Chain A
Amino acid sequence: MPNLQRSRRVENAKSSLIIIALVTLILIILSQMNFAFVGRYKHFYLQGTINTIVLAFFAVIFGVLLGVIISLMRISQSQVLKIVSASYVEFIRGTPLLVQLYIIYYGLPMIGIRFFDIRLPIIGTIPGDFIAGIVTLSINSAAYVSEIIRAGIQAVDKGQMEASRSLGLTYATSMRYVIFPQALKNILPALGNEFIVVIKESSIVSVIGIADLMYKADTVRTNTFQPFEPLIFAALIYFVLTFGLSKLLGLIEKRMKKSDSSS
């Protein structure tokens, strides 16, 4: 089919052209900018980056723990647990993260729940605001994690459960030894992806004064009177974080697949 090949070649040429045009445009814009501030404010960016990573890390850890509990509730045989967990997921997914953050940060103290500073070995003191941020991001992430787990379990062929039950094994045993190990292969890559999402979404907590990367970038903007460049630099760091992580996860996944097929 020479015709099809031709049109594919035209498509390829078109997309390369778009990329070249974009890169040129970005280079032109960057050449007009002044990044001299980076030298003076590199500690700002470093501290902000560390805070963002710590925030995302804890949010994912607690998000996964809570997400596992919620997904277990969702696949349980109790109607009550099912409704509670489904409502949780729907509510979290159906409302903006910013609203959730305000509810937790401003709302909870009004009913007497306050966030205190926590002192930890190695890491040091984690301020109360920071805790509120972690709590919000965890609660938010848990809804998505529980969906990831549910989808991972549902993707396992139904015949697996049937075969296991037909041997006389209970539902719980079948879940634990037959379904879950297979579901894990679907779940782990998606969880890595969730970590990337949380890194990006976590930038929202800067609005309550948590000194994450976004907040620090804002500070640099105010101090330098440069409205634009400090943000570009922060975006670059976000991109390096997420792109690097995504490449790393891809590598791990590849390695997992390899050990799988050789076994």
Chain B
Amino acid sequence: MIQVHDLYKQFGKNVVLKGINLDIKQGEVVVIIGPSGSGKSTLLRCLNLIEMPTSGDIIFQGQSILDKKTNINKVREQIGMVFQQFNLFPHMTVLDNITFAPRKLLKISKEEAYQLAVNLLKKINLENKIDAYPNSLSGGQKQRIAIVRALAMNPKVMLFDEPTSALDPEMVGEVLAVMKQLALEGMTMVVVTHEMGFAREVGSRVLFMDEGLILEEGTPQEIFANPKHPRTREFLGKVL
């Protein structure tokens, strides 16, 4: 579904990604782990061109998204993204947060949009918050709504950048549960996280990144039970 070829990204003199190769297949849950500053977020943000790669190529459904002829907005409609800081629109109600993009881009009617929001909110048990503003919600509720906001565009892939890192510990579970449900429904997902339990349980593949490179990858079983690279071992030793 997504292929990454020899991807480089540098900020000024700082080379953050140093040749990433990656093939994400339909229905896979790819979990990216690694120490702070290793380039996990940058890689994720390159996948929908929120960050512009310096060189290399990214193929989405057989089409290079770096090609000048590709309409990046059309590509982004099919790639949902969830941020550490939720990034809900504070001046819009939950309803508008969820339906703003589909109404603008998919040209659905007000009634259809309302129905869409209700259906999505039912999935996360927050129908009663449809008219609430984000500031009145807890972190866990915000993040669950941010997830369904991305789902409202009916994307093919979902990108998660540390979706639970900004949450109080007691709210981490509710967000991970929604993500797990999504994985069970067959959504293709790329997840940067420090939640090793989630990686182990839900991940189909785990990538370990360090200093701009994917040092090691494998099934959760392989990575957690039997890490080969000394850096992986060192990292897991610290976080587990």
Contacts and interface: CB of A to CB of B under 8 A. Distances in A.
A201 B75 CA distance: 52
Interface residues of A, number: 19
Nearest to B73: A168
Nearest to A181: B91
A181 B153 CA distance: 23
Contacts of B83: 159, 162-163
Contact of A162 (B50, B75, B88, B149): B50
Given A160-B89, A162-B87, A168-B105, 13 more contacts: A159-B85, A163-B81, A163-B87, A163-B146, A164-B101, A166-B76, A166-B79, A167-B76, A167-B80, A167-B101, A168-B78, A168-B153, A261-B135
Nearest to B89: A178
Contacts of B48: 166
A182 B92 CA distance: 10
Contacts of B78: 168
A239 B138 CA distance: 46
Interface residues of B, number: 28
A157 interface: yes
Interface of A: 157, 159-160, 162-170, 173, 177-178, 181-182, 261, 263
Contacts of A166: 48, 50, 76, 79-81, 150
B50 A167 contact: no
B76 A177 contact: no
B110 interface: no
A160 B97 CA distance: 12
A169 B149 CA distance: 13
21 contacts: A159-B85, A162-B81, A162-B83, A163-B87, A163-B88, A163-B146, A165-B50, A166-B48, A166-B50, A166-B76, A166-B150, A167-B101, A168-B74, A168-B76, A168-B101, A168-B153, A169-B73, A169-B101, A169-B104, A170-B73, A263-B133
